[in-house]
C-alpha cells in the first residue's frame, strides 16, 4: 500500500545525485585550478562529460551513494565541533590558524580515506570474496583463520581477533607517544 511517506520510487533516481555531485566537484576543480582556462563554458562542458561518463559505471554510482551520507555526517560533526569551540571562546583567527595546521588536515584526509575504503568494501567486498572462492568451497579450514565466503563475517572475525585489537592498541600508543614526544614546547 502506498503511503504519503513512501520513498521507494526514489530508488529509480539514485544516479541523479551522484551525477550532480560529480559535475559540481569537477566544475569547481576546473574553475579553481584554471587548468584548461577561465572559460566557464568549456569547464562546464568537460564537467558534464565526466558526470555522464560516471553514469557508465554502476559500481561508481553505488560507491558515491554509500559515501555521501558518511561525508554529511563527518561535516556535521566538524561543524558541531567548531560551534563547541566557539562556545568555549575560540575566535575566527584561531580557526584560520587551525586550518593551516598539518595535524587537522591529516585528520580530515584520514577520515576521507576511511570513508573511501569503507565504500570499496561495501560495494566490492562480497563480489571479490565470492570470486576468490572456488565452486563448492565455502570455508578454508585453517586454525584461527577467517576465510569464509561471507565478506561481513570475515571482516567481523578479523576486527575482533585479539591479535588485531592488540596491534591497534600498540599503534595507538605509538602514535600518541610520537606526537607527544616530538611536540614543540610553548
The whole-number pLDDT of residue 141 equals 55
The whole-number pLDDT of residue 89 equals 86
pLDDT in tens, 89-115: 888 888 888 888 787 888 889 999 999
% of the chain exceeding 90 in pLDDT? 36
The whole-number pLDDT of residue 134 equals 62
Cell of 88: 568555549
8 Å CB contact between 154 and 146: yes
The whole-number pLDDT of residue 11 equals 73
In sequence order, the 6+-apart residues with CB closer than 8 A to the CB of 115 are: 67, 70, 71, 74
The whole-number pLDDT of residue 1 equals 53
> What is the distance between the alpha carbons of residues 57 and 123, in angstroms, rounded to a whole number?
12
Cα torsion angle, 47, 51, 53, 54, sign: positive
Closest CA to 68 of 30, 98, 24: 24
Compute the chain's Rg from CA coordinates: 22
| Domains in the chain: boundaries | 15-56, 58-132, 141-186
pLDDT in tens, 142-166: 665 666 777 787 788 888 888 989 9
Q: CA angle at residue 57 from 32 to 34, to 5 degrees?
A: 10
The whole-number pLDDT of residue 161 equals 86
Q: List the chain residues with pLDDT less than 50.
A: none
The whole-number pLDDT of residue 180 equals 85
Amino acid at each position: 500500500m502506498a503511503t504519503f511517506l513512501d520513498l521507494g520510487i526514489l530508488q529509480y533516481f539514485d544516479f541523479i545525485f551522484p551525477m550532480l555531485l560529480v559535475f559540481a566537484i569537477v566544475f569547481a576543480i576546473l574553475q579553481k585550478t584554471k587548468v584548461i582556462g577561465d572559460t566557464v563554458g568549456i569547464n562546464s562542458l568537460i564537467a558534464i562529460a565526466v558526470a555522464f561518463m560516471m553514469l557508465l559505471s554502476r559500481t561508481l554510482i553505488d560507491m558515491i551513494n554509500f559515501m555521501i551520507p558518511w561525508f554529511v555526517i563527518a561535516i556535521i560533526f566538524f561543524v558541531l565541533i567548531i560551534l563547541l569551540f566557539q562556545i568555549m571562546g575560540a575566535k575566527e583567527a584561531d580557526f584560520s590558524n587551525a586550518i593551516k595546521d598539518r595535524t587537522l588536515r591529516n585528520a580530515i584526509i584520514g577520515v576521507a580515506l576511511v570513508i573511501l575504503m569503507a565504500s570499496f568494501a561495501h560495494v566490492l567486498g562480497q563480489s571479490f570474496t565470492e570470486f576468490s572462492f572456488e565452486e563448492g568451497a565455502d570455508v578454508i579450514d585453517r586454525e584461527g583463520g577467517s576465510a569464509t565466503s561471507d565478506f561481513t563475517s570475515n571482516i567481523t572475525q578479523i576486527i575482533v581477533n585479539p591479535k588485531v585489537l592488540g596491534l591497534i592498541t600498540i599503534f595507538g600508543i605509538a602514535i600518541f607517544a610520537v606526537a607527544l614526544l616530538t611536540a614543540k614546547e610553548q
